[in-house]
Amino acid sequence: MPERVLVSDPLSEQGIAVLKQAGLDVDVNTGLSEEELIAVIGQYDGLVVRSQTQVTAKVIAAGKKLKAVGRAGVGVDNVDLEAATEHGVIVLNAPSGNTISTAEHTMAMMLSLARNIPQAHLSMQEGRWDRKKYTGVELNAKVLGIIGLGRVGSQVASRAQAFGMQILAYDPYLAEERAEELGIKLATVEEILQNADFITVHTPLTAQTKDLIGSAEFAKMKAGVRIINCARGGIINYDALAEAVQSGKVAGAAIDVYQQEPPPEDLPLRGLPGVVLTPHLGASTAEAQINVAIDVAKELVRALEGKAFKNAVNMTPLRPELLAQLEPYLDLSQRLGSMAAQLSTGGIASVEITYSGELAELEVAPLTTALLKGILSLPFGDEVNMVNAGYLAKKRGLKVKESRAAAPEDYTNLISVTAHSTRGSHQLAGSLFGRNDARIVQVDGYHVDVIPQGHLLAIDHHDRPGIIGQVGTLLGAEGINIATMQVGRREIGGEAVMVLSIDNQLTAQTLAKIGEIQDIRNVRSVNV
């Protein structure tokens, strides 16, 4: 008897055809309430949704035969991932189906800014002929700054190159060799702010990217810069952007995404000259809707057939006996990866991972995957998971070397990771005290004892009296409370590392103030 799939939201016929061609028994039944869905879901092996159907914990619990849920799109906010994982249900999405659509919309917004097309169109509709008023600028020979060079960002880059634009791109997780292949110059955010004529952002919204561009960043930009955001609301501070437009520092802005959708009526960008607003149209093309339907249908078929798939957004189940042994170390591995990525500057080109002690005798591939998930969580956000972390690492040219060693003298088990970037290397090691007490025990070869949780501050400095006091005084003046502090050093008066756990994330301005303290060589904010 063929496996059954329920399609509970409107889906492109091409996607439904993929399911049927695979021999699945497909029912299309849209507009179901939670109670109605609970009543029927027990008959199905697979479920395909878009954004309307709410796949709650109750729905998943009622799906006694349910093996996989496919979301035709990127976001899975309408699916209870924790419940799905608990019940062994694979949740799949289609993250690349709308890549071209979003990249093209970004270019359309950029051209609209450059040539004042919306404003000129409105003037014509109102019977005016304002030809001189709407003189624009060419894209040719202009510098485009791209913050985030993932799926969409790289597609925008190739299209902008066809217009003769020079590309500066910031992506600390992209190998320099890959950037060279794309014909793109890697740059810091600071360099992009100072040199770009157009700036577009293509990152996920995370704690690190929220308000990535605000008043301080606008102040560093060239006069007449133009800003585009077709990624996520919240990456650019729209209050600060509105002020920059009103002051004339920013010549124009094109915005497709908002923190609240639809945005409030008092959105400060409404009505400002030179500002183009669209209602989140990045993925709104007929082709994108077809692509995401086909992509998720193919993934669902592979999952139900027991074949390899790449776009799962939750962790695939491990063998019970292996899970029992590795489970305490999965979270530690992911936090090690996240910290290594945040400590690194420049694109990470390779990672060395060493498992010592009892771990060296186990199948540690899931731990490596968890560590890669941590490294890639900043550029990919929720898109990276335990299933596709290895695939995404390979696609980005990230080389992974895994080795095993005997137990070190002080630890029963130890996970050590060294991240090699274009601007140096950083080493971390972590262990468990007891079964669940995760600790970072080494940072760049210095012995520490740090709980990898919350807001951390890592400071490389020359060991001399007074530095700790100066840092504490500065943080106190900024209203930042220190929860814990660890100092690692090899000798008195030599180089050292200071790791602080603090109650709030620091602003860029506060980080800069700390970096100005004498004998401090480097300061980095880490959130885990």
pLDDT tens digits, residue range 180-195?
888 899 999 999 999 9
Q: Which residues contact 142 (CB under 8 A, 6 or more apart)?
A: 165, 166, 197, 198
379 or 521: which leads in pLDDT: 521
3-state secondary structure of 71: strand
* pLDDT band of 315, cuts 50, 70, 90: low
Measure the CA–CA gap between 461 and 498, rounded to whole angstroms. 8
DSSP-H helix ranges across 262-388: 286-304, 320-343, 365-380
Q: Is 232 a known active-site residue?
A: yes
Packing angle of the helix pair 151-162, 99-115 (nearest 10 deg): 50
Contact 173, 378 (CB under 8 A): yes
317 pLDDT exceeds 60?
no
pLDDT tens digits, residue range 64-78?
999 999 999 877 878
Q: Is 280 a known active-site residue?
A: yes
Measure the CA–CA gap between 325 and 233, rounded to whole angstroms. 41
pLDDT tens digits, residue range 219-245?
999 999 999 999 989 999 999 999 999
Burial class of residue 373 (count of CB atoms within 10 Å of its CB; 0-12, 13-18, 19+): buried
Q: Which residues contact 95 (CB under 8 A, 6 or more apart)?
A: 74, 151, 311, 383
Q: Which of 50, 151, 178, 232 is catalytic?
A: 232
* pLDDT band of 387, cuts 50, 70, 90: low
Measure the CA–CA gap between 107 and 95, rounded to whole angstroms. 20
Q: Which pLDDT score is estimated for 208?
A: 83
pLDDT tens digits, residue range 120-129?
999 999 999 9
Q: Model's pTM, two decimal places?
A: 0.71
- H or E stretch at 39: helix 34-40
Number of C-beta neighbours around residue 319 at 10 A: 11
- H or E stretch at 425: strand 424-433
Q: Which pLDDT score is estimated for 334?
A: 94
pLDDT tens digits, residue range 336-368?
999 999 998 777 889 999 999 989 988 898 899
pLDDT tens digits, residue range 495-505?
999 999 999 88
Q: Which of 87, 159, 280, 302 is catalytic?
A: 280
Measure the CA–CA gap between 165 and 139, rounded to whole angstroms. 6
Q: Are strands 90-92 and 68-71 parallel, antiparallel or unpaired?
A: parallel
pLDDT tens digits, residue range 247-306?
999 999 999 999 988 999 999 999 999 999 999 999 889 999 999 999 999 999 999 998
Q: Which of 35, 126, 131, 261 is catalytic?
A: 261
Measure the CA–CA gap between 528 and 521, rounded to whole angstroms. 23
Q: Which pLDDT score is estimated for 353?
A: 97
Q: Which residues contact 47 (CB under 8 A, 6 or more apart)?
A: 5, 6, 8, 41, 53, 55, 63, 66, 68, 69, 70
